[in-house]
Amino acid sequence: MADYSAFEPSPPFDYRDEAIRTREEEYLREQREKCPVIRSSEFGGFWALTKYDDIAGAAHDHERFTTTDGPTIPSFGRPYASKPLTSDPPEHGKFRRILQPYFTQAAVQAMEPLVRDIVTDKIAGLAGRHEADFMVELGYPVPAEVMAATLGVGREVAGDISLMNQKTQHAAVTGDIEGTREVQARILKFLTTEIDARRERPKGDLLSAIVHSEVDGQPVTDDIRFGMATMLIVAGTDTTVSGITNTLALLADYPADYRQRLLDDRAELLAFINESLRYDAPVFGLARTVREPVCLRGADLEPGDRVLLLWGSGNRDADRFTNPDTFDPRRKETSNLTFGYGRHRCIGDHLAKLEIRVVVEEVLKNMPNYRLANDGPLPLRTDLEHGPRSLPVVW
């Protein structure tokens, strides 16, 4: 049996452990200094990379680190391949090109009126109130409605999309096999109806593009259609949930004059959002599988080993960022790992940033003096997302 003792930190690394998540920045800073390549015995054993250069290198090196076994530890156990997320070059590019036209900067800019309509509708529902949970009122529903509209399935099903996504994350991390199957069956039923409706009558939406897509001159199979749509439902919503709530939580500490400056100066607001995404990366980490033997900082990684790329830890690496634990919207180092790195960089990053910006703008217009309802630390999620479980505020 391999000796991993030199790479096993104390306490052992388990991202579900609330004791670790409540002191996450300190814990990962210790590992970057003492044990930058971590070995964990959880989920059958895996490695975790904490340093920016190691994470970026693995994300870019598909020859030695593949995504074909899925992007999560543990695996969500999806019955369909989530292309292009679970494919390597040259296949990866062929599937990404199917989706890319819907997520370019120009395509996303054209969606701003729709996104703003969704956000203002949610905020209008808070009229006459002076307290709310921004997670419930904005964090969950806004990305779900935006993704529903992007796919072309109608905003009225956003509640189901949000619920399915939350159950998927919970079931996977807790090892709830029956729960996972239940969610998968629900998603399958929903998508089957929508896909069948577009076989003969495409609607010009993203889901129609998926249904009628071809790779190498051949129509894609149903399992790939289902996998691509499921990937968008899951990856296209939950990350933005945390991006929205993390940013609103950070902004709650700032005075009224600064908040007004953000409303008056979009460039300054965008800088604030970008720093929020670095400082509190919404995705805790995504996985790769080792293809070829590789030695990384003295650790011998073997084919078949699972590796978690800790985006948020890389974003706090002092070798890459000046005073990385300081929130500084005016910092010069603007590039970060929040949306991944290389070929698999998140295809929806422009859309996610748009949603966060519009939410912040509308909150500041309508509730400019909001603040956190409680003085204590926010309850944190303990899955692969990084953010609060709830965000109670008053105004």
pLDDT for residue 77: 58
Query: Cα separation of 338 and 283, whole Å?
Result: 7
pLDDT for residue 235: 79
- Domain 5-394 indexed as CATH 3.10.290.10: no
What six digits make up the tokens of 43?
């989920």
User: Residue 220: which residues within 8 A CB-CB, separation 6 or more?
Assistant: 83, 210, 213, 214, 228
pTM for this one?
0.94
Going from N- to C-terminal start, the domains of the chain cover 5-394
pLDDT for residue 70: 87
pLDDT for residue 170: 65
Range list of β-strands (E), the chain = 37-40, 46-49, 65-66, 131-133, 214-215, 218-219, 286-290, 294-296, 299-301, 306-309, 371-372, 392-394
pLDDT for residue 174: 65
Q: What stretches in the chain show pLDDT beneath 50?
A: none
